[in-house]
Amino acid sequence: MKAVDPDAEGLESLAEGARDLVGTVEPHVLDLTDLGAAEQAAAGTHVLVNTAGLQLVRPIEEFPPDVFHTVLTAMLEAFFRLIRGALPHMYGQGRGRIVNVSSVHGLRAPAFKSAYVAAKHGLEGLSKTTALEGAAHGVTSNCVCPT
C-alpha cells in the first residue's frame, strides 16, 4: 500500500502505526499541487482513495483568489489527475476501485466556504463521470460524504 502526503514525518508515523493493521505502507511524499507528479504517483494503482482536504473560512469578497486556486487544484484537479493516472492499469486488469471522500458540503453548501464547497461539488460530478466511464472496464467509483 502506498500513502501520499506532503508531510514526510506524518507519513512515517502513519506507516509505523498502520503496519499491524494493513501490513507494509510505502510512504510517498507528494504535493498534490504538482499535478504531473500526482498523476505519475497513481500509475499501477488497484485501489485509489482520494481524501485530501484544505479549507479557509471567509466571505467570498474577502477570500484570497490564490487560496481558492490552491484549494481547487489540490482537492479537485489533483483528484482528476490521480484518477487519470490510475485508470490505464485498472482498465488493463479489468477491475479497480476508486473512492473519493467528499463531504456533506459536497451535497449542501454552507456560507463562507466557497472554495471547499466548489471543490467538493466538482468531486461529486467527477466521481459520477468516472463511475459511468469505468463500469464497462470493471472499475467502480464511489463518493462518500461524511458529516
Distance CA 93, CA 137 (A): 9
Only one residue has cell 484549494, namely: 71
Distance CA 14, CA 8 (A): 10
Active site residues: 116
Question: What residues pair up with 50 in beta bridges, in sequence order?
Answer: 100
Task: Tell me the Cα Rg of the chain.
Answer: 16
Long-range (24+ apart) CB contacts under 8 A made by 59-62 are: 59/111, 59/112, 60/114
* Amino acid (1-letter code) at residue 33: T
Distance CA 90, CA 139 (A): 7
